[in-house]
Amino acid sequence: MAVILLRHAKARASVGYGGDLQRTLNGEGAVQAGVLATVLAGVLAHDMPLRIITSPAVRCEATVGPLSARFGVSLELDTRLVESASEEELFELANLAAAAPGSLVLCGHAPSLGRLAQTMLSSQAMMIAPSELQLGVACFLGFDFAADSGRRLTSLARYLAPDYRRVDLIG
């Protein structure tokens, strides 16, 4: 089973009225969202059931929209995935990931995704340099857990845009 921490695709610089949560993807970001759906479909091919939880930011919803459509899974909005998530909120998300009965995609923002990754690793009694967990635009971390051992972490990989070559950090 997998947990994917995904940073949204490339967004417009500003939205004008409506604030940061209303920023949409730009043209490049729309292309990235389509590519991500294909890449993630390969990474998650055998990992069902699948939940996709996203920040309520329009750019995050648009990033995982194509993946949602590909798997026929509804998006779940969660305000704990915003940029300014508290330590308590990140701890709650880490617990959600640990208890998930299947695979989980969490789409959000930097720097909170890196902090979430550190929280998830600390629950496994592991440490990785924070710089290894930083995510650029349209990049993701893939946590793989053994399905038969209470969600024991078996590998952690980073996939950076645009080629999404797997780089193993653990495993």
CA distances from 30 to 82, 84, 89, 150 (A): 20, 24, 29, 37
CA dist 165 and 51 (Å) reads: 24
Say if pTM beats, i.e. exceeds, 0.95: no
CA distance between the termini of the chain:
15
Cis peptide before 49 (omega within 30 of 0): yes
Query: What H or E segment, with its residue span, contains residue 92?
Result: helix 87-99
Query: What H or E segment, with its residue span, contains residue 27?
Result: helix 27-43
Query: Structure tokens of 133?
Result: 């967990």
Q: What is the pLDDT of residues 61-110, one digit of tens each?
A: 999 999 999 999 999 999 999 988 999 999 999 999 888 888 999 999 99
- Residue 96, classed as helix, strand or coil, is helix
Q: All domains of the chain, ordered by start, with CATH? A: 2-170 (3.40.50.1240)
Q: What is the pLDDT of residues 131-145, one digit of tens each?
A: 899 899 999 999 988
